[in-house]
Structure 1
Amino acid sequence: MDVSTTLWVLTIVGLAALIAVDFFIGRKPHDVSIKEAGIWTVVWIVLAALFGLGLLVFSGGQPAGEFFAGFITEKSLSVDNLFVFVLIMAKFSVPSQYQQRVLLVGVLIALVLRAIFIAAGAAIISSFAWVFYIFGAFLIYTAWKLIQEARADEAEEDWEENKLLKAAEKRFGVADRYHGTKLWIEQNGKRVMTPMLVVMLAIGTTDVLFALDSIPAIFGLTQDPYIVFTANAFALMGLRQLYFLIGGLLKKLVHLSYGLSVILGFIGVKLVLHALHESGVHVPEISIPVSLGVICGVLIVTTITSLMASKKQAAAEAAQTAQKETEGTSQDSVEAGRPQT
């Protein structure tokens, strides 16, 4: 897809305008309701769909299919990010009315850092075709690690600050409490960061770790930097509202890691086949429609089995609780019937 500099500029300006509207609408700290989060989640998905339809009309089915496959993949991978975001919010005890501001700025930082990753990835791919082997092997390895972590329940562990964040806290110091939405304050004659700035940096920089698998994953679906960037942008910009919308459902998506591991492994194999094809080896390549079907199918199956497993577990816990209460009542009756001495 041939993208002119003018189109790049217009796209970035358009995305910046959408982010600005989102910021000013939610600039006043408040608790985000399910209704508000739901409305904005639908808005961002509709905007992404309209963008994809625009690609279909003006550029054809191939770019549009790549965008939708990339968007769905990035969106599903970003849901996994929310588990870590919940841990970060809990670790820093972020007041509920400030969480939306934290996520907005944190996601904006993540978007800028991802843009740098995408530019670097595109430059490497254009110069070295063999990098597809590395990307493919890395995704297959990541898929295996996801399965291992899911089986070991490592998602329940506490989140730990990265080295960059620790260095910033040591260098500038951190205030002992939140000061509204302020990022810097004067404390004992010294300018220090507030916990608000620290948690924003934590959200933004932690997302870079997720980008290590999501960026190679989307390059496995398309090598067009424009589509890679826009798919990432639309997936990330709706992440804040998704946090509030499905925050309570995250624990019910017990099979999500397995689903994501299948998707990453599938794209990893697709990348290796593409690398072999580029090297002159006659192997079948996986088309975008097939990729889109596999990704959507895995996510649907994963969601259904997760909800079924969660419902079964809840029923078992309820039955266990009822049994304990019955045993406790029976024991009380026995105690009450004993003669007094």
Structure 2
Amino acid sequence: MNAAAAGAPRVRALDGVAPSAIPYAELLAGQAPVILRGVARTWPLVAAARAADTAAIAYLRAFDSGQPVVGFTGPPAIQGRFHYDAGLTGFNFAGARIGLADFLARIGASLEAPRPESLYVGSADLDRHLPGFRAANDLPLDDPMFVHGVLASIWIGNRTTAHAHHDMSHNLAVCAAGRRRFTLFPPDQVANLYPGPLEPTPGGQVISMVDFADPDFDRHPRFREAMAAAQVAELEPGDLLFYPALWWHHVEALERFNVLVNYWWNEAPAFLDTPQTTLLHAMLSLRDRSDAEKAGWKAMFDYYVFGPAGRAAAHLPAHAQGPLAPIDATLARRLRAQLINKLNR
């Protein structure tokens, strides 16, 4: 068990929830991780995985569309910990396009190896790579909160670790084969997790530079504070974990064959830009200004962005509100065009 998980409290778990009764609104309102035990226990993939790893591999292979996936491979020495290399000039693994059937065959061949290479496919689109899979292995997603769409993905691998990172979407993560341990931290722990470079990153998101298996508290003393805020979720096949957007999560796949199916979604419509772009622009325009200027701009952002919706425009007639008005697709296009024009000056 990693150091942060060893003494951390367990994520709240609910038992006996039927798939048709998943309390999506309650989960989202709580803004904290929650486990739904056994909610996907009737999935055929879960049943196959409980029977044998080879049965689960065969079940997945039957849906293979033939579209190549990106498979990641690391030498046995990394012990499943996909990260940067020692000099922070590259990564300790390689990625390449590979047929899903070929990748599953490689995992199957590794099952009995005493020191297997580290293998995983991450965030492969279910509908593209495994068409038909969701007909019998899926969650009911007819709740109004999913009106802007859901991205369903699959993660397949052996004993691997995804170092602590955050996503910009809410997540429903179903353990469909093997076991998984999530160590989760609220967004306010970002400074205590010592994030790495913004780019390049091992998997698209910034990761923590702390070695959770053997923390160096001389280099990362604030990690003790992060540990005090951590929660741990240990998932068996059929369990579902919900966690909100921006929660940091360190994910360990614990068995020789593991599958996770996850559903990402946002409450905001797709025409809104990603806040990550805003963060980069703020670094360009604000970060290196004086403390006094930054304090002034913080007040501006609190008023125009982080304050109550509509406050900044409440005293203006509708025809004069411009970008202060509620943003729809048309206004979003106009603002995007203005930004592109200003950035290309």
Give me the TM-score of the superposition, normalised by structure 1.
0.27
Structure number with the higher strand fraction is 2
* More RCO (CA 8 Å, sep 6+): 1
Larger radius of gyration: 1
Give me the TM-score of the superposition, normalised by structure 2.
0.27
